[in-house]
Structure 1
Amino acid sequence: MNKRIELTEAVIDNNQLVLKPVSLPTGLENLVAKGQMLVDSDQLAFIYILETADEFVYAGLPHTIWTNLKEAKDKQLDVIAKINEQEIRLVDFFDELEYLLENIKGNANYGEDMEKKVVELFSLK
C-alpha cells in the first residue's frame, strides 16, 4: 500500500515555497519527485506524487495551504518539500497544478465543494 503524508506547513523562504509535514510515517528515505499530481476531492486536497526505490508516496496538499500555493504560483517560486531533513524540489509542480485547476473549474465530477474551493482560493473565473 502506498504511504501518504500531509504537507500542512507552508512557508515562503528565500524565494521558494517550503512545504513540511507535521508527522511522518517511517521509512521515507531517498524520496524523489515524480512530477505528477492528483486530486483528492474527498479531502479537498491536491496530491503530489513522490517515490522511493520501491513505492509511491502521496504528499497531500490540503486546502488550508492553497493560499500559499497561489502566492507561490503568482510569484513563480520553486516548491520544495522538506521531509526528514531531505529537501525535494517538486518538479513540474505548477504545470501540473495549472492543468488540474483548469480541469476542476466548472467540472462537477470533482464535487461541488472541491470546485467551489478551487475557484475561490485560486481566484478562477
Structure 2
Amino acid sequence: MNQSWIVEELNTSEEKIVAKAKSKETKDYLHTLKPAGQMLADSDRETFVYLLEDEEAFAHLRFTTSTWETLAAHREQENEVVLVLEHDDGNVEITLDQFWAEIGYLVENIKGNNNYGEDMVQAVENMFFK
C-alpha cells in the first residue's frame, strides 16, 4: 500500500512543531507506520516528501510550499517535528526522525541546482535563503 498525505497545518511551540494531516486509512494501519528518516523533493509539485514506512512499502507525507515559511523560520531551532494523522477514531502521532537534517540536505542540494527545475530552485531559494 503506497499512501500519501498532505500536511494541511503546522502548529509551532517552543518545544516542537506539529504537522497535521487528515487520514481515512484505518487506525490499525496508521499504527504500523514508522518514520523512515528520509526526505525527497518532488520538483513537479514543489513539495518536500518525508518518507514513512509500513511493513510493505513507503508512505509519503507531503510538505507543500504553503508550509515552507514556517519550516524556514524554525529550521535553525531544530525543534522536534511530530506528525498528527487526524482520524475519526482518534489521532495517531509519529515523531519525524532526522527531519531537520533531511530538510537541510535537500535545500542545500536544491540551491542553484537546475536539475530540480527552475521553479523548484527559485521557490527554495526565495524561502530558505532570503
TM-score, with normalisation over the residues of structure 1? 0.90
Superposed CA offset, 1:51-77 (max 9, x none): 122221100000100011112212221
1:46 pairs, out of 42, 45, 48, with: 48
Contact 1:49 1:57 in 2 (8 A): yes
CA RMSD of aligned residues (A): 1.5
Aligned-partner Cα distance in 1 for 2:93–2:17? 11
> Between Structure 1 and Structure 2, how many residues are aligned?
123
Match of 1:17 in 2: 17
Match of 1:3 in 2: 3
In structure 2, give the amino acid aligned to 1:54: E
In structure 2, give the amino acid aligned to 1:11: N
2:128 pairs, out of 108, 122, 125, with: 122
Match of 1:33 in 2: 35
- The Cα of 1:13 is off from its aligned counterpart by 2.9
> Secondary structure, in 3 states, of the residue corresponding to 2:76?
helix
Aligned-partner Cα distance in 2 for 1:115–1:67? 15
Task: Flag the 1:25–1:55 CA change in 2: closer, same or farther, 3 A.
Answer: farther
- The Cα of 1:25 is off from its aligned counterpart by 3.8
| Structure 1: stretches of 5+ with no match in the other structure | none
Percent of paired sites with the same residue:
34
Which aligned runs of 4 or more in structure 1 are off by greater than 2 angstroms?
none
TM-score, with normalisation over the residues of structure 2? 0.87
Aligned-partner Cα distance in 1 for 2:100–2:5? 20
2:73 pairs, out of 62, 68, 71, with: 71
Q: Which moved more, 1:106-115 or 1:8-17?
A: 8-17
| Structure 2: stretches of 5+ with no match in the other structure | none
